[in-house]
Chains A and B, each alone.
Chain A
């Protein structure tokens, strides 16, 4: 190829000079080690479309992006684990700084102090919110964090059964099922009482074999589970209480740490991360001090340099696979550092007061919507102790209403009829971004006032 690509600086003359230094006559000599039978040839070449100029690329990608309904065109009442929230502009500006974005894992701490400090601050803020002692510097997402928590619990308790509430996110259940398939322990579901965990069933389910109980707080249906009561049920058990929590709700809810959680995990997507069709987001993982040396992935610690000046390093790495290869308890290597940074910028911007204010607005909006729907005669299946999501029963199939709302510029809530065993049940979410006008419009469409 004689055409010079914009990402490739090496010229024909450079190639000539380098080949001379190496002492070979052509680039082919450097690929002779690939066995001939496996080499790409003219008839076995990989087939891709011709390369695009930047302009043509932009045109094609805009065309693809343009096919999708977005938060610019529609008001989203869909939550269920991924939320349309306010993100201060500075979040994006900070993560675009190439010193952060184009770095890798801080293997040389002296040249990576900026990121290490930002992650240390992230860990501190996640501990503040969750009420835990130690947090790592992030994992892939909330569900994989939960899977890692299950592995930790099984390894720490030497017990083989994980109990989870049916009010756990369905995809979280799937992910822990896969983790259990890997490490070969069992996972069992505790049923529901309305939209919350059935306490009697949980009490009956806890046994000598229980490694952990998983509770989502607020749960998948938006209801705030009573962690204190659950913790009390577990008093005689050696199993751990794992709480998966929307961290925004912790602005106003009592921290899981204070209510007895051993491990708190979740996803920081509500803190300034774009929904991005479900990823990349950012899992967090926080534990009581007792489990500090069992935490998966990377932790940043404070230390001093040769002059006694404060600095930061990755620490407690004996847990990591590269030291004790076959004895690893987790294979987590990379994390979501850039989005841990984004989370930190968000939390710095919102701060002590803003996180409370935003959480409170979520409650006000969701409860306003619930009240309006109730007043207009719809059945609300959730009791009043919910955060920013609740379940309403509609008079028609959810799919039908979803279609109709789309036409009106609204993305409806999720159909949870199957999960709850009720007909026409929709999980609605109203974040701080939903305006009164949007909510009133939704109410009139759902209650048929517009007909």
Chain B
């Protein structure tokens, strides 16, 4: 079933169609009658022409060449590839959620506002923050919005020109420094210590009157909890900076602790990670942010407010950083996340984190004899291995990743974080059964043995996918990013 290899444009034939529009009941107005000739389209867009079944076969053929959580185990570190409950898909498609307009009169969308309000209340609890904005569309947008709040806060205190630097640990997600740059900040990298944590001395040396704040993921991308978090927060706050919590790894601490308790001032959560909404192949996500009371005034506008007459949209927030996205954020994603929270409850969320952490430590324990483990402490919901032992045998981490595909698994995150050589970052999540974890561990062990005895079998992988290993270098050097109608030289 994985041999299908045609593009929409190659199976198209003039005259076919896959739609039905009713006949227009009114007099037709031709575009040429209302616009000058140069604004009327001269050549129609070359879109494909296909029947419904052809389209369904096309996409079924493509889906058979794609791997999702329901295909198999997806241990992609820092991405929290947990089960995406089906009922939440049904709920998001209720007409009262899917077919409502963001600008329709407020009194006609009270159910939607109430859901948003309840979700905000729940996220306050989970994060230990005082106010939430559901507007950011994803984690990176949450980071950016959070840093703009830093900026607005320092400006309001008359320190905007002075505090121009954001501190980011070298283990941070790549979006952290990028978000700082597009928020107008300079980035200062903080070296991790030998235990994989923020080095206190390095931090002390870096903070100063030019510090706007620190961005931190906790547990960090090595899967390790920042045990010195209380001291870290003190150091940054004493220097006049603020603390940003990257919630990508929140799945490890639900109900166990909160960023608020740890001393963070601003936080984002990835609802598509910890709160089970589907990743969709790269989106849509949702990245709400939470702040402490003293930063509330700077949250994005507009906000939802509960009044005696019902919910209303308030726009009068002169200190707000502005709007980061259209309308109210990714409402449909937020509906799913709220359904998830209501299905789990506080105890359920705590169980989520306990099992996620248990699973990660279990896998780490099983794999430790076969792969290098750069950090010996117990991990949280994910851990890193280094493929250095295998590299010496002629097998790189990339090869291990490709070989895992042949065993029916997706690969872990690889070559990240950057501070671990030949890194494999593994996050099993709580929704995988022990049998699945064992099967994965067995495969990893077998690959380690092959690396030692028969490395070619690993370096030649994958063998069972729709394609063999792809040439990414040529793709970047000579980019072909649209269908080339008149070039048949590439083999189909």
Contact = CB atoms under 8 A, between A and B. Distances in A.
- The reply to whether chain A is a binding partner of chain B is yes
A333 B183 CA distance: 15
A444 interface: no
Interface in B52-102: 52, 55-56, 58-71, 74, 76, 79, 81-85, 87, 89-102
B54 to A, nearest CB: 9
Given A46-B258, A353-B49, A361-B24, A224 B63 contact: no
A335 interface: yes
Task: Give the interface centre of A18, A112, A138, A279 by most chain B CB atoms within 10 Å.
Answer: A279
A309 B469 CA distance: 10
A321 B178 contact: yes
Given A68-B96, A279-B327, A280-B137, A348 B467 contact: no
A279 B325 contact: yes
B476 A311 contact: no
B99 A335 contact: no
B137 A141 contact: yes
Interface residues of A, number: 215
Nearest to B345: A51
A24 B378 CA distance: 10
Contact of A275 (B100, B110, B325, B474): B100
B31 A360 contact: yes
> Contact size class for B?
35 or more
Contact of A117 (B7, B25, B492): B7
Contacts, number: 716
Given A104-B282, A138-B283, A364-B27, A10 B68 contact: no
Interface string A339-370: 10100110111111111111111011101100
A61 B16 CA distance: 41
A100 to B, nearest CB: 6
Nearest to B490: A310
A57 B470 contact: no
B280 interface: yes
A355 B97 contact: no
A107 B76 contact: yes
Given A27-B354, A68-B96, A104-B282, A277 B41 contact: no
B68 A326 contact: no
A350 B47 contact: yes
A303 B405 contact: no
Interface in A54-78: 54, 57-58, 60-72, 76, 78
B490 to A, nearest CB: 5
Nearest to B181: A328
Contacts of A312: 470
Given A105-B281, A174-B323, A367 B432 contact: no
Contacts of A8: 348, 351-352, 355, 430-431
13 contacts: A7-B344, A19-B358, A118-B59, A133-B482, A172-B326, A174-B323, A175-B322, A250-B45, A279-B333, A310-B5, A312-B470, A315-B472, A321-B178
